[in-house]
Copies of this chain bind each other. A is one copy, B any other.
Amino acid sequence: MKWVYIEDIAKYVGEKVELRGWVYNKRSSGRVRFLLIRDGTGILQCTIFSPEKEHPLFDKFEELTQESSLIVRGKVKEDKRAPGGYELEVEDIEIIHIAKDYPITPKPHGVSFLMDHRHLWLRSVRQHAILQIRAEVIRAIRDFFDGRGFRLMDTPILTPSACEGTTTLFETKYFDEKAYLSQSGQLYNEATAMAFGKVYCFGPTFRAEKSKTRRHLLEFWMVEPEVAFATLNDIIELAEDLVVYIVSRVLDKRKKELETLNRDTKPLEKIAKPFPRITYKDAIKILKEKGFKIEFGDDFGAPEETILSNSFEKPVCVTRYPLKVKAFYMQPDPENPDLALCVDMLAPEGYGEIIGGGQRIHDYDLLLQKIKEHNLPIENYQWYLDLRKYGSVPHAGFGLGIERTVAWICKIDHIRETIPFPRMLYRMYP
């Protein structure tokens, strides 16, 4: 008999098939037993019917507990009453393993308990919906960049130097040297952009941040495009296109999962170009009007981002932050050299920053000066300076955080559910 997956069940109506999976739930009603079987691709109602009171399959049914594994054989039927519209008339059950005392029961559990059992929590319908949307977001991003001729150029994780400041580095021994886990692939992207014109990297990045907020992970995935000859405006356009593409793709392909999460899709349907653009200066004004004690020159924290994010229906692009709150490689604004040609995109509905980027310094002397000002070891940045020595061009790029984007699209409270195994402050298990 053919082993099929539940997501393909509609193709097998009237046929006898084999399912392999786990007991999600069960119930009895008179002479019928209902088994809800999950196989990782879906959940199917499997019915056992007997005209007699006793039946060997009834005995097996009794034995089965939540999350017990089994093989079920039977005939596929279309049935409008069944959840999903199909069911299996069970002819045979082969029990593989009886699960005893599965810890995650239908009753509510605390978050810390669920996080300790993340390896099992992943089996739930809600986690399935979130992680399927995550996979869709990732696929959409790759299709977007591949479709526009961007070259995927993986950047290294083990690096001799920092990209985003030196206070949040994970350090490891690299034989006789010290290595740091990459905070961003950007510096390397700049090298590959000079070689391939338009590139992206997509991988895990690391920040040893002591923040315990609903927006921080210590290990998170980021996609980072970089374009030679691009200006700040070019990459804002690119960022808009990307976000519009991701959202419409999820709306198109993951309707069911959004429903499972009770996500009101109306706010997502409004995500179209152009997005509002304001300057950092405008943002300060808005924040002051809302009663924040904030001065020009201060960086935004989570509360500020939340307020700004809530002020717009679409993602808002905040440009031209003061240079001094940004990384060393930021290109100064020719109209005001205290400002950076940079952009942060804040997702709406209070979600805050999902994108950060801008134009990079392309002048050798200016970059050298900044590296010195930031007390960075020049020998580690010699190759990076070289990019300004041999055919330097203006260039720009950005990074989009996957988990924050997924959290916003799913409208969930905490980023920890947007990745299979989150790494947070004091949390590395399982």
CB proximity of A211 to chain B, nearest CB, Å: 12
Contact A181 B177 (CB under 8 A): no
- A72 part of interface (Cβ distance < 8 Å): no
Say yes or no: is A420 at the interface (Cβ < 8 Å to chain B): yes
Copies of this chain, tallied across the complex: 2
Q: How far is the CA of A158 from the CA of B424 in the complex (A)?
A: 11
Let me know if A235 is at the binding interface, CB within 8 A.
Answer: no
How far in angstroms is the closest Cβ of chain B from A429? Answer: 6
Give A95 Cβ to nearest chain B Cβ, in Å: 10
Complex: how many Å from CA A421 to CA B154?
8
A123 to B119, CA, bound (A): 44
Report A333-361 residues with CB < 8 Å from chain B CB.
none
Is there contact, CB below 8 Å, between A7 and B149? yes
Complex alpha-carbon distance, A142 and B146, angstroms: 12
Docked complex Cα distance between A352 and B97 (Å)? 38
A293–B423 CA distance with the chains assembled, in angstroms: 47
Specify which chain B residues have a CB less than 8 angstroms from the CB of A40 in the assembled complex: 151, 193-198, 228
User: In chain B, what residue has the closest Cβ to A193?
Assistant: B40
Assess whether B158 is in contact with A195, with CB atoms less than 8 Å apart: no
Given A179-B428, A392-B96, verify A157-B387 contact (CB < 8 Å).
no
Q: A151-B135, A393-B20 are in contact. Are A128 and B421 (CB under 8 A)?
A: no
Q: Which of A168-176, A239-247, A267-275 is the interface stretch? A: A168-176
User: Is residue A383 within 8 Å, beta carbon to beta carbon, of the partner chain?
Assistant: yes
B196 touches A69 (CB 8 A): no
Residues in B whose Cβ lies below 8 Å from that of A175: 425-426
B-facing residues in A12-31 (Cβ within 8 Å): 20-23
Question: What 0/1 pattern do residues 87 to 108 of A give for CB contact below 8 A with B?
Answer: 0000000001101101100000
User: 11 A-B residue contacts at CB 8 Å?
Assistant: A41-B198, A102-B390, A102-B391, A139-B146, A156-B420, A156-B428, A157-B157, A170-B172, A176-B426, A181-B181, A188-B420
Q: Identify 4 new A-B residue pairs, CB closer than 8 A, beyond the known A68-B391, A122-B196.
A: A40-B194, A119-B386, A135-B153, A155-B421
